[in-house]
Amino acid sequence: MSESQAKTEKGPFDVDRTIPVLPVAADSLEEAIRKMTSLEPVIYAHADSHGQLRIRYDASSIGIRGIERLLDESGIGRSSSAWWRFKSAWYRFLDDNARTNAHSSGGACCNRAPTLWSGGRNVDRKD
């Protein structure tokens, strides 16, 4: 498998995110993107023509918090709108769940999932 094929195939915990960034010098943004893509969990990152950072990363290894930290360290600001704050919190929730699931050693808590009609009771049981 070539490196380009590996980059386009999506893994089980790979996520795509769009992060609205504030206007900044192109070379600063390119340097930040270069730093991000040098990290193994980051599959790709690029700035689109609408001033947004489009990034794909493995959420089992790095989350939106890590990406935001890298942007902060590079001096790249993000939108502070209510919509972005909500979306960022949702991304954190999803990434935390992905990391927890990826590193979980157990399976489900029981061997039979409840059915819609059982009301939590074991329908096979005869009383």
Q: Compute the distance between CA of residue 18 and CA of residue 55 in angstroms, rounded to an integer.
A: 6
8 Å CB contact between 76 and 21: yes
User: In terms of Cα–Cα distance, which of 12, 36, 32, 13 is closest to 24?
Assistant: 32
- Does a structural domain hold residue 117? no
- Does a structural domain hold residue 90? yes
Q: Which of 30-39, 56-65, 72-81, 110-119 has the lowest mean pLDDT?
A: 110-119
- Does a structural domain hold residue 41? yes
Q: Compute the distance between CA of residue 1 and CA of residue 97 in angstroms, rounded to an integer.
A: 30
What confidence tens digit (pLDDT) does each residue in 11-39 have? 888 999 999 999 988 889 899 999 999 99
Task: Please count the structural domains in the chain.
Answer: 1
Instruction: Report the predicted TM-score, pTM, of the whole model to 2 decimal places.
Output: 0.73
User: Which structural domain, as residue segments, surrounds residue 17?
Assistant: 3-102
98-116: average pLDDT? 71
Encoded tokens for 61: 């290894």
Q: Compute the distance between CA of residue 109 and CA of residue 87 in angstroms, rounded to an integer.
A: 31
- Does residue 54 register a pLDDT over 80? yes
Confidence of residue 103 (pLDDT cuts 50, 70, 90): confident
Instruction: Give the CATH number for residue 96.
Output: 3.30.70.100
Counted residue by residue, the chain has a size of: 127
Q: Compute the distance between CA of residue 124 and CA of residue 127 in angstroms, rounded to an integer.
A: 10
- Does a structural domain hold residue 116? no
Who has greater pLDDT, 104 or 37?
Answer: 37
Encoded tokens for 82: 């209510």
